Amino acid sequence: MSLSGCPHVAAFKKSKGTKPFRIIQAFFVSCSSVENVKRKARAGSCHVCQQCNQRLHACLTCVFFGCYTMGHIQDHARSTKHNLAVDMTHGTVFCVPCGDYVYDSEFEQISQEERLNCSKFHGSSVQGFSAWEATGYEIELLRRNPTRKKVSGSSTIGLRGLINLGNTCFMNCIVQALTHTPLLRDFFLSDKHHCENERSRDNCLVCEMTRVFQEFYSGIRSVHIPYRLLHLVWTHARHLAGYEQQDAHEFFIAALDVLHRHCKGHNGASGNNPNHCNCIIDQIFTGGLQSDVTCQACKGISTTVDPFWDISLDLGPSSSSNSAPLPVPIIVPTPLPDFSLDSNSSGSSTSSSSLHNGDSGLMSPPGFDDVPHSLDDCLRRFTRPEYLGSSAKIKCSVCQNYQESTKQLTMKTLPLVACFHLKRFEHSSRFRKKISTFISFPHELDMTPYMSTHRRANGLSHHPRSNRTTTSDNQYSLFAVVNHHGSLEAGHYTCYVRQHQDQWFKCDDALITKASVHDVLQSEGYLLFYHKRILEYE
Amino acid sequence: MQTTIMADYGDRKIKDAQMRASINQKLVETGEKERLKELLRNKLIESGWRDELKAHCKEVVRRKGLEHVTVDDLVAEITPKGRELVPDEVKRELLHRIRAFLAQQSNI
């Protein structure tokens, strides 16, 4: 096996060039026209035994197809001295005298081009997967740095304690969660950030995060001191400066915001549209939240979609907020005068009874006792329609009147990493307190029920269940949990992170200990980080 | 008696081969074969099959020495493992697709 071909290939190319190879590729390996496909289907069988599934090869010198397993192509080559044959499935070149497949860079190039044409012709949406090939520069780097590290299942690489620099556990726990976000790790470890501004490099949080990730995954096990990171956070998010206790969620959002702003410098082109940014933070954390405001008079729906980085979920009884859950009477008798204005009903036959059925099922599920006990409860509450109250009249975009309305939030698009913030700290004008009730959360989460497509189908159409598809696209896995211990006045943050699929560790500032899934799921979660299980091709 | 069974068996073998050839022709003609290949390739990559097999190949090449191994050697050595490692889910999906395709083809 050699990468530089063999003497037979060299001799062939000298006398006949690469044209015969290209013709065979285009006509019989990677067809890119209807006639070629038909011809391949008709003629693609062994000239000796007529079989078509015994590793068919085509002679590169004359028109002859023979199978490899039965030795027909080899027999042909020996009797005619036609040395080379092309595998008709994979397009590789077999040299009969050498007794092996040979690789020639020119041939490889041609076969790749034809394959591309072929996949275009067959209209595959994805360009398929192309393996990483080291460039000259990368080969040089690998040569100069001969040490290799193999990461095994029991490796502790990636686990590092962080020194508490004075009430900075709010930062440490978020750094732990971020460094264990697989997509973010891949981004930073592959040096994908190209800082534009040479001079302000010391001032760039993305550059600092790159350093932090490289520290974490360097294999060093001693404690890391994140003083530079803290300093940068202080300079860029002034409200977090000082040695006071801070909220981890606030820090998380501030960190994403600063990272997002510092990424912008080099993603220039996308900077002009604030809602569509291509930076790594937005690629990973941004989802789209759809808000449907339904006018109670004309049933017209106005829809807006806003980007979000996290979802904050209420834990208290919903009567404490001013938006009470919808009592049933609101949807009942009012006969709908204007069906034609209902932009979203699937047809004019929408009867009030079908609306009633759908809505009541959504709004007051039997046995739903107001205080959520699980992430599921929280999300259900988050995505149910809420009556905005008689004092909050909104101008309806359909009937142009100020009317009472209901509002429903749903997920239009899902982020790759979903962060849920359980609002355990309650600040109201009268009191401040921490809600310590246990909220259960799953290891694997299906977001399908909270999607806009699903909710709408469920609430408004006649066949609520018919188009329900349980795709694997909306499946998430838990990978980090931030916990708060103590009270509102004095507390401490720790973080559970997942490593190697199924190992969990508890990060308590400088201390890292092994934990079980059970420990994680029984903990008093404050921030829950879920990662999408299946990523689509770009 | 013996001979008629043999003849039947031979008959069936020929019929099977004809059937196989005409199915293959249909698959190629419609482009379904290319699509299936693409699907299979992606599924195997996604499931980690390709990486696992690649590691295994490297192991074989290292053991035998680059100059002393041919593609045929490699194929012979990794085929059993390769077959065994294909996830059931991938097999099921492919089978499902092929069945669905054949069900659409009335004239085979």
What is the ipTM metric for this complex?
Answer: 0.81
Q: Tell me the C-alpha distance between A375 and A437, whole Å.
A: 12
Q: Tell me the C-alpha distance between A219 and A160, whole Å.
A: 9
Taking a contact as any Cβ pair under 8 Å apart, which residues of chain A between 59 and 118 contact chain B?
A: 99-101, 118
Structure tokens, B93: 């999906």
Give the pLDDT confidence score for residue A274 in this predicted structure.
Answer: 52
Q: Domain B31-107 is of which CATH architecture?
A: Orthogonal Bundle (1.10)
Q: Which burial class, exposed, middle or buried, applies to A123 when counting CB atoms under 10 A from its CB (0-12, 13-18, 19+)?
A: exposed
| Beta strand residue intervals within A208-361, DSSP E | 287-295, 301-308, 311-314
Least confident among A26-40, A315-329, B80-94: A315-329
The domain in which residue A336 lies consists of 287-532
DSSP track, B53-99: HHHHHHHHHHHH-GGG--HHHHHHHHHHHHHHHS-HHHHHHHHHHHH
Could you tell me if A124 lies within 8 Å of chain B, comparing CB atoms? Answer: yes
- β A491-499/A503-508 pair status: antiparallel
Give the pLDDT confidence score for residue A265 in this predicted structure.
Answer: 55
At A130, the pLDDT band (50, 70, 90 cuts) reads: low
Give the residue from A228, A253, A281 where a domain finishes.
Answer: A281
**Has residue A367 got a pLDDT over 50?**
no
Could you tell me if A329 lies within 8 Å of chain B, comparing CB atoms? Answer: no
Could you tell me if A122 lies within 8 Å of chain B, comparing CB atoms? Answer: yes
Based on the fold, state whether residues A98 and A203 are members of the same structural domain.
no
Q: Which residue has the higher pLDDT, A369 or A316?
A: A316
What contacts 24+ positions apart, CB below 8 Å, involve A299-305? A299/A336, A299/A338, A299/A341, A299/A342, A299/A345, A300/A341, A300/A342, A300/A343, A300/A396, A300/A397, A300/A398, A300/A399, A301/A342, A301/A343, A301/A344, A301/A398, A302/A396, A302/A397, A302/A398, A305/A412
Range B6-24 average pLDDT: 81
Based on the fold, state whether residues A315 and A226 are members of the same structural domain.
no
Using the beta-carbon criterion (under 8 Å), do A53 and B20 form an inter-chain contact? yes
Helix A169-179 crosses helix A227-236 at what angle (to 10 degrees)?
Answer: 100
Range A205-219 average pLDDT: 89
At A323, the pLDDT band (50, 70, 90 cuts) reads: very low
Q: Which residue of A has its CA nearest to B25?
A: A41
Give the pLDDT confidence score for residue A497 in this predicted structure.
Answer: 95
Based on the fold, state whether residues A311 and A196 are members of the same structural domain.
no
List A130's β-bridge partners, or say none: none
Q: Taking the alpha carbons of B82, B86, B92, B96 in that order, is the dihedral positive or negative?
A: negative
Using the beta-carbon criterion (under 8 Å), do B45 and A129 form an inter-chain contact? yes
**Has residue A289 got a pLDDT over 90?**
yes
Give the residue from A281, A315, A343 where a domain finishes.
Answer: A281
Show the DSSP H helices in A246-382 as ranges.
248-264, 280-285, 352-363, 375-382
Based on the fold, state whether residues A116 and A175 are members of the same structural domain.
no
Chain A residues closer than 8 Å to B70 by CB: 1, 99-101
Q: Which residue has the higher pLDDT, B42 or A353?
A: B42
**Has residue A134 got a pLDDT over 80?**
yes
Q: Which residue has the higher pLDDT, A306 or A268?
A: A306
**Has residue B31 got a pLDDT over 90?**
no
Is the Cβ–Cβ distance between A273 and A376 less than 8 Å? no
Q: Tell me the C-alpha distance between A56 and A362, whole Å.
A: 60
Based on the fold, state whether residues A424 and A487 are members of the same structural domain.
yes
Q: Which residue has the higher pLDDT, A155 or A19?
A: A19
Based on the fold, state whether residues A200 and A115 are members of the same structural domain.
no
Give the pLDDT confidence score for residue A462 in this predicted structure.
Answer: 39
Task: Kindly report the three-state secondary structure assignment for every residue of A454-501.
Answer: HHHHHHHCCCCCCCCCCCHHHEEEEEEEEEEEECCCCEEEEEEEEECC
Least confident among A61-75, A242-256, A456-470, B19-33: A456-470
Domain extent listing, chain B: 1-30, 31-107
**Has residue A344 got a pLDDT over 80?**
no
Give per-residue pLDDT as tens, A36-78.
888 888 888 889 888 888 889 999 999 999 999 889 999 999 9
- DSSP annotation of A290: E
Terminal Cα distance for chain B, rounded? 32
Based on the fold, state whether residues A177 and A235 are members of the same structural domain.
yes
Q: Which residue of B has its CA nearest to A127?
A: B38
- 10 Å Cβ neighbour count for A265? 16
Task: Kindly report the three-state secondary structure assignment for every residue of A129-164.
Answer: CCCCCCCHHHHHHHHHCCCCCCCCCCCCCCCCCECC
Give per-residue pLDDT as tens, B50-59.
999 999 999 9
- DSSP annotation of A416: S
Mean pLDDT, chain A, as a whole number? 80
Give the pLDDT confidence score for residue A339 in this predicted structure.
Answer: 36
CA distance B18 to chain A (A): 9
Using the beta-carbon criterion (under 8 Å), do A37 and B38 form an inter-chain contact? no
Q: Is A71 left (phi over 0), alpha (psi -120 to 50) or beta?
A: left
Nearest of A248, A243, A260 to residue A171 by alpha carbon: A248
At A128, the pLDDT band (50, 70, 90 cuts) reads: low
**CA angle at A34 for the pair A32 and A38, rounded to the nearest 5°:** 110
Could you tell me if A1 lies within 8 Å of chain B, comparing CB atoms? Answer: yes
CA distance A376 to chain B (A): 29
Give the pLDDT confidence score for residue A114 in this predicted structure.
Answer: 86
Give the residue from A281, A310, A333 where a domain finishes.
Answer: A281
Least confident among A279-288, A296-305, A324-333: A324-333
Give per-residue pLDDT as tens, A411-440.
999 999 999 999 998 877 677 788 888 999
Q: Tell me the C-alpha distance between A135 and A113, whole Å.
A: 19
Give the pLDDT confidence score for residue A140 in this predicted structure.
Answer: 93
**CA angle at B23 for the pair B17 and B28, rounded to the nearest 5°:** 125
Could you tell me if A3 lies within 8 Å of chain B, comparing CB atoms? Answer: no
Structure tokens, B96: 């499902």
% of chain A surpassing 90 pLDDT? 28
Taking a contact as any Cβ pair under 8 Å apart, which residues of chain A between 366 and 405 contact chain B?
A: none
Based on the fold, state whether residues A338 and A299 are members of the same structural domain.
yes
Using the beta-carbon criterion (under 8 Å), do B17 and A51 form an inter-chain contact? yes
Give domain status of residue A138, yes or no: no
Helix B71-85 crosses helix B49-64 at what angle (to 10 degrees)?
Answer: 140
Give the pLDDT confidence score for residue B2 in this predicted structure.
Answer: 57
Which CA distances in Å does A131 have to A180, A254, B51?
25, 37, 11
Q: Is A492 a catalytic residue?
A: yes
CATH assignment of the domain containing A447? 3.90.70.10
Q: What are phi and psi of A185, to 5 degrees?
A: -60, -45
Residue with tokens 């191994």: B69
Nearest of A116, A87, A96, A103 to residue A28 by alpha carbon: A87
CATH assignment of the domain containing A102? 3.30.40.10
Q: Tell me the C-alpha distance between A3 and A92, whole Å.
A: 13
Which CA distances in Å does B3 have to A20, B9, B12, B14, B15?
49, 10, 14, 16, 18
SS3 category, A100 = strand
Q: Tell me the C-alpha distance between A22 and A17, whole Å.
A: 10
Using the beta-carbon criterion (under 8 Å), do A122 and B35 form an inter-chain contact? yes
Give the pLDDT confidence score for residue A351 in this predicted structure.
Answer: 36
Q: Which residue has the higher pLDDT, A201 or A109?
A: A109
At A446, the pLDDT band (50, 70, 90 cuts) reads: very high
Q: For chain A, how long is the longest CA-to-CA vector?
A: 98
Chain B residues closer than 8 Å to A126 by CB: 38, 42
- DSSP annotation of A366: T
Give the pLDDT confidence score for residue A49 in this predicted structure.
Answer: 87
Based on the fold, state whether residues A318 and A399 are members of the same structural domain.
yes
Number of structural domains (chain A) is 3
Based on the fold, state whether residues A109 and A179 are members of the same structural domain.
no
Helices first, then strands: H and E counts in chain B: 5, 0
Based on the fold, state whether residues A105 and A173 are members of the same structural domain.
no
**Has residue A394 got a pLDDT over 90?**
no
Which of B25, B28, B34 is facing A118, going by the closest CB pair? B34
Is the Cβ–Cβ distance between A251 and A223 less than 8 Å? no
Q: Tell me which of A169, A204, A277, A495 is the catalytic residue.
A: A169
Structure tokens, A298: 């004309």
Based on the fold, state whether residues A240 and A311 are members of the same structural domain.
no
Which of B29, B45, B72 is facing A38, going by the closest CB pair? B29
Using the beta-carbon criterion (under 8 Å), do A129 and B26 form an inter-chain contact? no
**Has residue A481 got a pLDDT over 60?**
yes
Could you tell me if A477 lies within 8 Å of chain B, comparing CB atoms? Answer: no
